[in-house]
Amino acid sequence: MNALTIFLGVMGPGQWVIIGLALLLLFGGKKIPELMKGLGGGVKEFKNAMKEEDQKLTKKEDDSKE
């Protein structure tokens, strides 16, 4: 079990509701979708960068075998 699983396992539904309400109060209803869109774009960009690095490493390995 990793630390994230342990952390999320400790938090119950009541804590998630409180966190959600706090976010709603801090950012407002209109800002939350924008924040989630930005977060999703960041995750997508990170995954693309990981794929590119993996492809570079694979290509280097293939070139060194020849």
Tens digit of each residue's pLDDT (9 = 90 or more) over 24-56:
888 888 888 888 899 899 999 999 999 999 888
pLDDT band for position 13 (cuts 50, 70, 90): confident
Residue whose C-alpha is closest to residue 23's, from 37, 36, 8: 36
Residue whose C-alpha is closest to residue 19's, from 8, 5, 30: 8
The answer to whether 35 and 27 have CB atoms below 8 angstroms apart is yes
pLDDT band for position 23 (cuts 50, 70, 90): confident
Residue whose C-alpha is closest to residue 23's, from 7, 8, 39, 44: 39
pLDDT band for position 57 (cuts 50, 70, 90): confident
Report the predicted TM-score, pTM, of the whole model to 2 decimal places.
Answer: 0.53
